[in-house]
Structures are given as C-alpha cells and as structure tokens.
Structure 1
C-alpha cells in the first residue's frame, strides 16, 4: 500500500466539536493517496471571515479541486427549507448543504484566482461533495447522486474513497474544458496560497490579555514543524526568542491530546499558569517543573517541554524519563529549545546533558522567522547580546527608546510621561508591561508612579480573570515565555548587567512592538561595552 493522504493540519484541532467532521478527518487521513492533499478548516471562536465560507474540507487532487461539506446528526427538508439538529432543538430554516457547498466553492475559486490567476484559464476544474455520515437524505432535484454521500454509502468512512472518485468523474464531465492532471507545480502553488488560512493558532498575547481573540498566521516554516509531529515521535525544535516555539508547543499539545495523555511542563511557574488556562483538554496536564512530584508514578503518553534550555541537566532529564511511557529513548516527546542560551547563560546549561538528549530525537532548527518582534527590536538585541533571533517577520516598528534617570523618582516621572503618551495615542494600559531588572516590588520605581495603585503584579494575575485594563509589573524571570505589545525595562542598575546578558536578552525580547529602557547612572557605559563585546564575538571587530 502506498503513502496515505496528507492532511493539514496533521491532527484535528481540539476546537473542532463536530463528531462528524472528526470522523471524515480520520477517513480522509486513511485513504492511500500520496499525491492529494486535504485541508481542514480549523474552527476557532471569533475568527476572521474565512475565505472558504462554510466549506469544511478542501482536497487538492491531481484531477480536481474538491470541496467537502459535512453535516452531522439529523438533516431534513420541510417546505423547501432545510433544518439541522434534533427535534425541538432544530437549527433553521437555512439554505441547503448543497447551496452552501456551491457558494463556498465559487467564493473560493474567486479568492484563489486573485492570488494565483484564474483557475479555469489554467485548466483547473472544481466541484463539491456533501456528506451526511449519520443520515440519508431523500433524492431531490437539488442535487445529483454523485454530489452526495449519505450514511449508507459513506459506510462509517469505508465508502469515502469511492465517493471521491465518483464525484471527480461527475465534475470532470461538467468541466470539459479541464486540463488534467493538474501539474504538481500548479497544485503546489495552490497549496502555498491557501494553506496559511487552514493552520492558525490563537495569539498567546491575546489570550493572556483577554482581548478579542486575534489570529496570527503561522509562517510556512512553523507550519512545517507541526506536520513533523506525525512522522517523528521525538522532536527537538530550536529557535531564538520570538520564533513561535511556545505557539507551536501549545498547538502540539492540543494535537497530541487526540492520541493519549499529555504532560506539558516548563521551568517558569507563570508560563505554566498561563498555559494551564489555554490548554483545557482533560487529557493535558500542565505543571511547572518544580511541581512534577504531584504526578510521580504516572506514565504519560506524550511529554512536551517548553524553554527546555532551563532544564538541560541530567537530573531534570531523569525526572522526565520517569514520567514518560517508554522513557526518553522510546517514548513520544517534544523539547522546545532556545539555542541562544548556550551563549547567554552557559552556567544554567549542561552541554553533556544536551549531547545525551540530542541523538534520541530529530533536531529541527534553528527556526529562522521571528514572528513576535519588530525589525528594530531584533537588531537591538543582536547588537547588544549577539543573539540570533531569526529574520523579523512582524514588520517595521519604532526604534527602541532609551532614557536616562538619576534615581527612582526621576525614573517614575519619565515612565509616567511615556505611559501617558501611549494612552493618549489609544494604547490600552493592559498592553504595557513594566519589567523590573531588580525584580523587587518594594524598591521598584513603579511604586512611585502616579499609576502605582492601578498596577497589577503579573505573577498574581497570570492565569486568572483579573488582568482588567491595567498596567502589569513583573520581574524579568517571571515574564520569561510571555510577551506584550509594549515593554518598559525599569530599575536597571549597572550591577544588573554584570554577567547577566541572559536577563537583558529575556527582557528585551518580550516586546512585540515597542521597547522602552530606563538607564540609571553607569548603565549606558555597560550597555556600550556589551555592544562592543557582541560585535567582537561575531567577528565584526578585531
């Protein structure tokens, strides 16, 4: 038997509640077909208007672009109107599934035509197939038998492949202008044009701030990483801050949950608290590493470790070994790793532990697309630390701002002026995080701010509903793995930079759009020295 049909995403999203869609997803995935690619529309709340409207699956085949509409449960027609769902809880009247499929198909053809050129002019035929896995719809004049697959013909998924073949023959008869098979190059072009709209994950920042759910399109590089889940039981993904590792770790956990129990862990208690809020599947356990004693004796089917560079010791690996079915050598796991740690904080990283782990899994990276930070922030971090954050994909932004403050009171004054400026421009205070280099609230300049009574301690509110529309304050360590639109680094004394390149790296890379840094006396000199040292390490100065 040849390779099975490829489906994107490779695992169905946990947000897909339709049992019928899940069933068709599995049936498509089981069809022997190494040339076709099926895409499943990921249903997520408050999404943007989908290009495909109501279409559930798009299958790019050598002979046709086929759209599949799935209607689970009870479907019936009354007085020319269509109703869905059980008696007493019917949803309708609505248009027929055939009208939905036809409308979605034509809308899609127009949209993709605008991206890669008119499909008909390129000889690409298209058609649709309606599937009702649970019922059989009586024959009407609204559809031909080849356009429909009812419960009997679907046969629990066994009849899907013949149904696709029958629909393909029918539509090719209606599209006699078609030039088939469609070339592999053109099929690849179609896939690259439409694929990002089928592989979306919720923005980590938007969930954290409880904003309306905004969606961030994953880069092709990141999407490829998700596809690797299926063929590689043990993966190590490497990439600098902002390359989407935590996005991918969260979505990997959701997809792996379809195949067994999942343990998601990291060193940071605040990151674990946040992930526990967004990973709600019953089979996913989220715990910070220092609380893994709570699940001692349990054997998980999958283990996912974020910020794994913080746990790269033999002792930590031994703890994970005991919690994974099959252990590290034979079990299923994913480690998300920031390779910059080796330069920034080598004392917290055991290279021998890394050399032990590396051959046990497939290493991918470093990921090169930075989807968090602007071009200006990426350049700033590289200049001072030498760290490689990848290619900035978030676009251009404002240059990082550096201000001088002689003491805590002056720092509070210039901070208030800056925050007031942002608010006047329409920025919500909740989109601003104050990162304290000292990490000590009692001595922080933030306590002298005019807004002090309205500042939320990040460690107290992360993972709760208490974020409101307020500024957040955090230590650098507690904000590792998180992000916000604007980051203000405060309480920065020269002593905080001596031997603490990793803290600077973490602090500056938390900013999505704007970085503001307040420098106490002597700090600028240290920053200048760091820049020279980074250039020297990179070979730019001799």
Structure 2
C-alpha cells in the first residue's frame, strides 16, 4: 500500500504538519492512513477470496510517498525504509522502488515470524485477479482524526450546523450528543467565532477532565485564541486562587474546600474581571456537585441566570454515583437554570467505526446513530474467570492484540477505578513496560499506555483494550462500559466477566 502525499509535509519533534498558505498546520500521522487502508484491502480480499486463500495470505506492507519534499525527519510512526521522497523518485524508477519495498516487506515478515515460511507466491493469474477485485469497489478509509477535525472542521453534519446557528441566537444553550458527535469540536469552534465577532470578549473554556483540559489549552494557544482562557475545572480554580493544588491530595474534602474558597473570591471580583462567555465541554462531569455550578455562576458576568454560556454534554457519560443528599435550594435553582435552557442535539458519530458505534449503542440498549460510514474490524471479546483477569489480559495481548496492532496505537483502559485494575502493581504486560497515559508526552517505544475510563473521558485512541468489565447489571455499569467502548476509533478488544461478555454478543 503506497500512500501518496503531495505538497510540503513533515514531522518535527514527533508532531506531523503540513504547510498551507505559508502556515504550518498540525495533522494526524499520515502513515496511520496507509496502515488503515492496507488492513481494509486485506479484509476485503479475505471476504472475497477466503481467509486462507493465497490472495489473502500474501505479505502486506505499507509505505509513504512524499512527491514534493526531501523527507529527512526521524519518526517512530514510519521507519525510513518505508518512506519514498522526492530525492529517491528523482534517481530511481518506480519498479526499483517497489522492488525495494517488497524486499523490506519480506524482511519484516521474517523478523515478526521467524518460525514461519514465507507464504507461497501468487501466480500471474492470481495477481491479475487481485487487481480486478481492487479496482471497482474498494472504499479506502477516510482520515477522521480528532486533530484534523478540531483544527480544520473538515466537515459538519446538518445537526452540528444547526447547533452553531442556535448558538448565535441564544445567550444560553445546552448542546447534547453522543460520543464522536463533535461536541468538543463545536465547543472550540464557538470560541473561534465569538472571538472573531467580539475580539475583546473574555471567554472561559473549561471541562472537568485534566487531559482534555490540557488539550483545549493547547488548541487555544496554537490557534492564537488569546482572549480564551482554557483548561480543566480545577485549573480554573487554581487561577482564581493564585496557587496550584496539592498534586498528592486525594481527599474530596480538600477539593471541596478549594472550590468554596475560589467561589468566594470570584463573587467579589469586579465585573471586568469576569468572563463575558463560558463554554463548558463534557458538562455532564460537572453535574455531580452544585458547588461546581456555583463557582461557574460566580466567574461569569450576569451569572448562570443572565450571563452567556453554552454547555456541551452527553448525559449517558455520567459516571459519578448518585448523590445521597439533595442539593441546597440555591443549588437546585442553578440546576434548574441549566436544564431549563434551550437544547440543540447533535447526532452523527464521526469518531468510531460502524462496528464500535453499534457496540456502544448496544450496551446502552439503543440503536446506533448515523455514523462515519467507516467499516473496521469486528469487536473482539473474551471472558475471564474470577481471579484470572490479569492472566486473560496477558494472553489476549500476546496472542491477539499485538499481532494486529502496534503498541504505540493501543491504550489499555480499566473499567475499575485507579489502583483496582487487574494489572495494578504490575510493571509489565505482554513484555511491555506499563506507563500511565499522558497525551502531552510522545509514545516511548517498548511501553504500553494505561488509564481508566474515568480518567480517559474526552480522549480517544486508535485501538482500545477495555479490561475489567465485571458487570453490566446497573445503569452506572453500562455507562462505564459505554464510555470505554466509545474511546476506540478503529479497533476494540473487551475483557469481561462471562455474564457481561455474553451480553455484549
């Protein structure tokens, strides 16, 4: 599979970019697109010719072709041997280049499968047959990376465009939608449009999740949205108090006290210090405590009753246990303001393959919304017996996942809380060193990134291994599974109890 990219494109410091109209723009690693297309071709040939056919068992390789640049950057996504650039095209024929890539593919096969013989070569007739099969109906995977969507707004569905229209017409608006429906994309876009319309307006962009807050901060800085103060909820608390919370703190009372103090500080701010507009992403994570709404009420001109705010949420992703004590009258009034606002609904799922979207819908007992139209591999499930969770995960990683995915593309998510994962206390898994997921740091070869569904909300990964799915008996159980399933963009592997695994089938 040759993925050809024209124009000026490069990779620096592990980040891919292209140059358009003299400006660098971040893009998703293009080698992933070549790999996705290669997988689709293999699966297509397996369906038409049979899984064990010569056509489907031929060694597959992928390479990037940069027609307009000399590509000298180092990148772990694509080894130098699988890159063809302008310099090589100038001195070698296409036949010579293809021959080199075929040799590389053969060498890769021997490295990965030292105990296997190379598959039997295809005959001329079989190769011609493959060419005939590929020409008429093959649909290549579209590149729907979150980065490209966030930075460029590649395409918007009718419901998303309707939401943007409603934002212009309403001072206060709730925008609801499922995973992959573009809520974060729209939250950032509303900030862009507000800044363009009112250059000096102070805009607060916040969410609860720390990783997502760091992403919003990065996007705002990269795009020069200087009047937008972006970050997580507690990053905004830190800014109001003028200090940083204790990184080792875990007591909820400590954080409640900081929220209370920050609210009291903001309540006496002069009007010009407050935000003209609040944009809240993943708002469902802020519904567990009325004090969080009270803080937002304090930092917004006019408060939640008369100020301008746009609130993005998916109520199916509420993971907090239900409060045993009702909010105060003031807290209930704030929730009433939120729930009484006009609502816009965004429906289409742009993130997940059709297979993953159906799995997410099924776990919630619903039909899947119209999706991306991208077909991916079937969702793989495995049942574990009590006490055998880690052994089952180890076996699946060794014998299934790592044969299909590169470790750099995988995040292992536990449905249990931090410290309760089946791999808690383990240094390695399937020969790879376990490290916490951190989107601000590049992947380190030889590692496997881990997180929990609670910490990974708002994030996504090309491949997700969802572990420790003990039950689907309660609504909260199903919501945790729903969040974990919907984090996977292309490949999903689930390890569950026998009852939960049966329910997923």
Shorter chain as denominator, the TM-score bin is 0.5 to 0.7
| Residues paired across the two proteins, number | 323
Counterpart in the other structure of 1:378:
357
How far off its partner does 1:247 sit? 1.3
How far off its partner does 1:435 sit? 0.5
Counterpart mapping for 1:214-233 below 5 A: 216-233=154-171
Q: Deviations over 1:236-272 (max 9, x none)?
A: 1111122111111122223323321211111212211
Of 174, 185, 189, the match for 1:236: 174
How far off its partner does 1:43 sit? 7.8
How far off its partner does 1:515 sit? 1.3
Q: Deviations over 1:394-426 (max 9, x none)?
A: 422222110234421332122122232124xxx
**Cα distance 1:485–1:42, how it changes in 2: closer, same or farther (>3 A)?**
farther
**Cα distance 1:441–1:391, how it changes in 2: closer, same or farther (>3 A)?**
same
Q: Say which SS state the counterpart of residue 494 (structure 2) adopts.
A: strand
Counterpart in the other structure of 2:275:
300
Question: Is contact 1:241–1:389 with CA below 8 Å preserved after alignment?
Answer: no
Q: Say which SS state the counterpart of residue 217 (structure 1) adopts.
A: coil
- d(CA) in 2 for partners of 1:530, 1:401: 10
- d(CA) in 1 for partners of 2:316, 2:421: 31
Q: Say which SS state the counterpart of residue 488 (structure 1) adopts.
A: strand
Question: Is contact 2:397–2:430 with CA below 8 Å preserved after alignment?
Answer: no
Counterpart in the other structure of 1:488:
465
Q: Say which SS state the counterpart of residue 373 (structure 1) adopts.
A: coil
**Cα distance 1:311–1:221, how it changes in 2: closer, same or farther (>3 A)?**
same
How far off its partner does 1:506 sit? 0.7
How far off its partner does 1:499 sit? 4.6
Of 267, 279, 283, the match for 2:227: 283
Of 437, 460, 477, the match for 2:415: 437
Counterpart in the other structure of 1:368:
347
- d(CA) in 2 for partners of 1:510, 1:378: 10
**Cα distance 1:506–1:358, how it changes in 2: closer, same or farther (>3 A)?**
same
Please report the TM-score for the alignment, with normalisation by the length of structure 2.
Answer: 0.56
**Cα distance 1:214–1:264, how it changes in 2: closer, same or farther (>3 A)?**
closer
How far off its partner does 1:354 sit? 4.3
Counterpart mapping for 1:58-97 below 5 A: none
Question: Is contact 1:340–1:387 with CA below 8 Å preserved after alignment?
Answer: no
Counterpart in the other structure of 1:402:
381
RMSD across aligned C-alpha pairs, in angstroms? 3.7
Counterpart in the other structure of 1:514:
491
Counterpart mapping for 1:192-203 below 5 A: 203=145
- d(CA) in 1 for partners of 2:350, 2:195: 26
**Cα distance 1:387–1:278, how it changes in 2: closer, same or farther (>3 A)?**
farther
- d(CA) in 1 for partners of 2:22, 2:280: 25
How far off its partner does 1:300 sit? 0.8
How far off its partner does 1:473 sit? 1.0
Of 272, 294, 299, the match for 1:318: 294
Question: Is contact 2:317–2:483 with CA below 8 Å preserved after alignment?
Answer: no
- d(CA) in 2 for partners of 1:388, 1:347: 26
Counterpart in the other structure of 2:209:
268
Of 322, 339, 346, the match for 1:347: 322
- d(CA) in 1 for partners of 2:401, 2:152: 24
Q: Say which SS state the counterpart of residue 477 (structure 1) adopts.
A: coil
Q: Deviations over 1:22-53 (max 9, x none)?
A: xxxxxxxxxxxxxxxxxxx99872679xxxxx
- d(CA) in 2 for partners of 1:507, 1:214: 26
- d(CA) in 1 for partners of 2:176, 2:457: 16
**Cα distance 1:442–1:394, how it changes in 2: closer, same or farther (>3 A)?**
same
Question: Is contact 1:238–1:364 with CA below 8 Å preserved after alignment?
Answer: yes
- d(CA) in 2 for partners of 1:430, 1:515: 15
Gaps of 5+ in 2: 1-19, 29-142, 241-265
- d(CA) in 2 for partners of 1:419, 1:388: 28
Counterpart in the other structure of 2:402:
420
- d(CA) in 2 for partners of 1:374, 1:285: 33
**Cα distance 1:381–1:442, how it changes in 2: closer, same or farther (>3 A)?**
closer
Q: Deviations over 1:279-303 (max 9, x none)?
A: 2122221232234332244401111
Q: Say which SS state the counterpart of residue 279 (structure 2) adopts.
A: strand
**Cα distance 1:395–1:504, how it changes in 2: closer, same or farther (>3 A)?**
same
- d(CA) in 2 for partners of 1:402, 1:221: 33
Counterpart in the other structure of 2:498:
524
How far off its partner does 1:324 sit? 0.8
How far off its partner does 1:357 sit? 1.8
Please report the TM-score for the alignment, with normalisation by the length of structure 1.
Answer: 0.52
Counterpart in the other structure of 1:467:
443
How far off its partner does 1:468 sit? 4.7
Q: Deviations over 1:491-536 (max 9, x none)?
A: 33349978522211110111111211012xxx121454689xxxxx
- d(CA) in 1 for partners of 2:205, 2:364: 30
